[in-house]
């Protein structure tokens, strides 16, 4: 399968391991992610916060490029936030032709968007491949590794952009089970990580992170897996501050789910573990999943 | 210009009507009307970027931008010249920059306010993908910024039109300087040529040229042979 791919800014900067591992996993499963020839920021910072149409230009232009320049009707992004932004903008303009007209008129010399592109998240595309196909590619099952899937909000909220059951999503569980891992379900899996509060209200995020990590620990989890660079920053990087504030707090590795898929498929050179703030390698070595 | 009956058009310079011959550039039309350019004009050939101009066509609502020395004045145009764009340019010492970090964001944090409206791209007389190079700047991709902005002549129209108050052309210039200094490899043939120059290999030739008179020099110039080189090939 070939599918247009919208990377988003973070996957080109701080979340490179997400992109590299995801692309490698896709290749292994016969999916070619064709990066859009040109793209701009998904528009997340503004477009979620206001109905000001100026701020919908970024996501809508990206969809127009897929529609007109690539002549395709789907586009996938790995980052949950990019997915959410593109999807919400798409829903907005499809449900409100007046707004779409206004946006197209503003873009004037650029190509119109006609509403013919479906934004998808990587998990949905992998879901299409199916767990049977995936199981065939597993070279090193993640046996005994207890994974805690974390969706946060942007994959499942608001309801009309949800990639799965918004209250109890399981798409990540199914994929990781196919990789041979054990799954630990926690109550907080769709709880918000604190998002951009991490800049203005850092302490709230530190507390939130502690709550999520501790509940994962108590449930017997080894590793949190997720698919959003901002969730990753809050849940992974902020653990250092949790540790400084709470003595006795034990850090837990946080990984993009694709990193562990890459490991399971024997593509560990693409897993990018060296880029993680909390090094998962000692744990993976202890479980016999990595050579020391 | 034809001797009899030139076609005349009406242009409005800063709101006042003037009759000028058809076929002039905006710059020449304004000069014909009696304006003198002390600033806001340079090469008159579309290279220096000094002559950023704004105008509106008759019957249209759109605010347009161009280089005054390049765009033709049309009947009914409203004209005004921008003598200077007072855009923010940061001071930096290129030798002190850490090229591994995204210093573009550091020196010009306003790039992160880009809402992708693309107004900059539409204002660019060089037809560059200005918005896409700002997007690349946000990601710290010096190579991409350099590639997309290479033909920038720094007229400043993008900055004048940007709702986020980004000074695109200064951002791009910093990116190109960093890319040139830290990321591009120094071409070997250039090093070799510098060595040759230092060793005095061309002193004789240059000495001859220096002694020539204007006429001789012109002859030399027009009769010179130009070496054809293949792409990537290095001349001896
Ligand atoms: S005067 Fe130099 S570009 Fe117009």
Give B151→chain A minimum CA distance, Å: 19
Structure tokens at B64: 């347009």
CA atoms within 13 A on the CB side of B76: 5
CA of B81 to the centre of ligand 1 (A): 12
Per the listing, tokens 């992974």 go with A236
Q: Does B47 share its domain with B119?
A: no
Tens-place pLDDT, residues B150-206: 999 999 999 999 999 999 999 999 999 999 999 998 889 999 999 999 999 999 999
Q: Does B104 share its domain with B176?
A: yes
CA atoms within 13 A on the CB side of B43: 11
B117 touches chain A (CB under 8 A): yes
Q: Does B9 share its domain with B31?
A: yes
Residue B57 lies in a domain: yes
Q: Does B114 share its domain with B169?
A: yes
- Pocket of ligand 1 contains residue B51 by CB under 6 Å: yes
pLDDT at B230: 64
What's the domain range around B220?
Answer: 198-230
pLDDT at A259: 98
Give strand ranges (E) for chain A.
2-5, 32-35, 74-77, 118-121, 146-149, 182-183, 223-226, 254-256
pLDDT tens, residue order, chain B (236 aa): 445 567 999 999 999 999 999 999 999 999 999 999 998 999 999 999 999 999 999 999 999 999 999 999 999 999 999 988 999 899 999 999 999 999 999 999 999 989 899 999 999 999 999 999 999 999 999 999 999 999 999 999 999 999 999 999 999 999 999 999 999 988 899 999 999 999 999 999 999 999 999 999 999 889 988 877 666 555 44
Residue B128 lies in a domain: yes
Q: Does B177 share its domain with B204?
A: no
Residues of A with CB under 8 A from a CB of B: 9, 12-13, 38-41, 43, 46, 54-55, 57-58, 61, 106-107, 109-110
Cβ A38–B129 below 8 Å, yes or no?
Answer: yes
Per the listing, tokens 């100026």 go with A54
Q: Does B127 share its domain with B76?
A: no
Give the CATH number for residue B67. Answer: 3.10.20.30
Share of chain A above pLDDT 70, in %: 98
Q: Does B113 share its domain with B170?
A: yes
- Pocket of ligand 1 contains residue B66 by CB under 6 Å: no
Per the listing, tokens 């207890």 go with A146
Among residues A194, A226, A225, which one has the least CA distance to residue A210?
A194
Q: Does B70 share its domain with B101?
A: no
Q: Does B111 share its domain with B176?
A: yes
Cβ A40–B116 below 8 Å, yes or no?
Answer: yes
Among the candidates B81, B103, B118, a domain finishes at B81
CA atoms within 13 A on the CB side of A139: 9
Give the CATH number for residue B168. Answer: 1.10.1060.10
Residue B88 lies in a domain: no
pLDDT at A126: 97
pLDDT at B122: 95
Q: Does B217 share its domain with B161?
A: no
Confidence of residue A14 (pLDDT cuts 50, 70, 90): confident
Give strand ranges (E) for A6-141.
32-35, 74-77, 118-121
Residue B164 lies in a domain: yes
CA distance A31 to B130: 33
Residue B150: CB atoms within 10 A of its CB come to 12
Give chain B's domain count.
3
Structure tokens at B104: 């573009």
Pocket test for ligand 1, best of B26, B28, B50, B154 (most atoms within 8 A of CB): B50
**What's the pTM value of the predicted model, to 2 decimals?**
0.80
Residue B190 lies in a domain: no
pLDDT at B236: 42
Q: Does B202 share its domain with B122?
A: no
Among residues A134, A154, A22, A3, which one has the least CA distance to residue A78?
A22
Tens-place pLDDT, residues A146-159: 999 999 999 999 99
Name residue A224's beta-bridge partners: A148, A254
Question: Is the sign of the CA dihedral B21, B26, B30, B32 positive or negative?
Answer: negative
Contact (Cβ atoms closer than 8 angstroms) between residue A171 and residue A163 = yes
Structure tokens at B189: 């043939």
CA distance B209 to A238: 68
Q: Is the pLDDT of residue A181 over 70?
A: yes
Residue B189 lies in a domain: no
Distance, C-alpha B76 to centroid of its chain? 28
Residue B235 lies in a domain: no
Best mutation target among A6, A8, A9, A42 (most B Cβ atoms within 10 Å) is: A9
Among the candidates B53, B81, B109, a domain finishes at B81
Among the candidates B81, B108, B124, a domain finishes at B81
- Pocket of ligand 1 contains residue B155 by CB under 6 Å: no
Q: Does B151 share its domain with B209?
A: no
Residue B204 lies in a domain: yes
- On whether ipTM exceeds 0.85, the answer is no
CA distance B77 to B79: 6
Cβ A38–B141 below 8 Å, yes or no?
Answer: no
pLDDT at B225: 84
Tens-place pLDDT, residues A29-79: 999 999 999 999 887 764 455 557 888 999 999 999 999 999 999 999 999
Identity of the residue in B102, B117, B132 whose CB atom sits nearest the CB atom of A57: B117
Cα→Cα distances A40→A53, B3, B139, B159, B160, Å: 16, 54, 10, 19, 21
The closest residue, in CA terms, to atom 3 on ligand 1 is B46
Pocket test for ligand 1, best of B48, B52, B151, B156 (most atoms within 8 A of CB): B48
- Pocket of ligand 1 contains residue B43 by CB under 6 Å: yes
Terminal CA-CA length for chain A: 36
């Amino acid at each position: 399968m070939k599918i247009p791919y919208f990377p988003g800014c973070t996957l080109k900067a701080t979340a490179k391991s997400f992109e590299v591992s995801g692309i490698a996993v896709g290749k292994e499963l016969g999916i070619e992610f064709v990066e859009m020839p040109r793209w701009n920021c998904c528009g997340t910072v503004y477009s979620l916060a206001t109905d000001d149409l100026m701020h919908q230009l970024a996501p809508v232009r990206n969809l127009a490029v897929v529609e007109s320049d690539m002549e395709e009707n789907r586009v996938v992004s790995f980052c949950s936030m990019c997915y959410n932004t593109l999807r919400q903008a798409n829903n907005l303009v499809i449900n409100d032709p007046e707004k779409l007209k206004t946006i197209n008129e503003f873009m004037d010399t650029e190509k119109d968007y006609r509403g013919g592109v479906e934004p998808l998240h990587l998990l949905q595309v992998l879901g299409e491949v199916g767990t049977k196909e995936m199981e065939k590619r597993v070279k090193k099952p993640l046996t005994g590794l207890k994974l805690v899937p974390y969706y946060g909000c942007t994959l499942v909220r608001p309801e009309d952009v949800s990639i799965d059951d918004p209250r109890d999503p399981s798409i990540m569980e199914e994929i990781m089970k196919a990789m041979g891992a054990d799954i630990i379900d926690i109550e907080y899996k769709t709880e918000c990580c604190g998002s951009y509060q991490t800049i203005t209200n850092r302490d709230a995020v530190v507390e939130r992170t502690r709550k999520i990590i501790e509940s994962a620990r108590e449930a017997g989890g080894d590793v949190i897996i997720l698919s959003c660079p901002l969730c990753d920053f809050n849940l992974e990087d902020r653990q250092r501050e949790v540790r400084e504030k709470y003595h006795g707090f034990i850090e837990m590795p946080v990984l993009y789910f694709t990193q562990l898929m890459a490991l399971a498929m024997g593509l560990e050179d693409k897993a990018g573990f060296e880029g993680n703030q909390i090094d998962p390698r000692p744990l993976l070595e202890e479980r016999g999943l990595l050579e020391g | 210009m034809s001797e009899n009956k030139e076609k005349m058009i009406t242009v409005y310079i800063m709101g006042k009507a003037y009759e000028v011959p058809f076929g002039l550039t905006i710059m020449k039309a304004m000069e014909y009307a009696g304006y003198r350019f002390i600033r806001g004009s340079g090469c008159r050939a579309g290279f220096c970027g000094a002559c950023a101009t704004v105008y509106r066509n008759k019957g249209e609502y759109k605010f347009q931008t161009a280089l005054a020395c390049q765009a033709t004045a049309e009947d009914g145009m409203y004209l005004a010249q921008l003598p200077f764009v007072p855009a923010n340019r940061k001071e930096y010492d290129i030798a002190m920059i850490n090229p591994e970090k995204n210093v573009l964001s550091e020196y010009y944090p306003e790039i992160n306010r880009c809402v992708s409206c693309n107004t900059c791209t539409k204002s660019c007389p060089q037809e560059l993908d200005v918005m896409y190079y700002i997007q690349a700047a946000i990601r710290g991709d010096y190579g991409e910024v350099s590639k997309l902005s290479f033909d920038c002549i720094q007229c400043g129209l993008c900055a004048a039109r940007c709702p986020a108050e980004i000074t695109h052309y200064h951002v791009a210039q910093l990116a190109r300087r960093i890319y040139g200094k830290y990321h591009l490899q120094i071409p070997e043939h250039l090093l070799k040529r510098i060595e040759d120059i230092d060793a005095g290999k061309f002193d004789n030739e240059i000495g001859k040229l220096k002694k020539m008179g204007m006429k001789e020099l012109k002859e030399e110039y027009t009769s010179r042979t130009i070496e054809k080189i293949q792409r990537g090939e290095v001349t001896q």
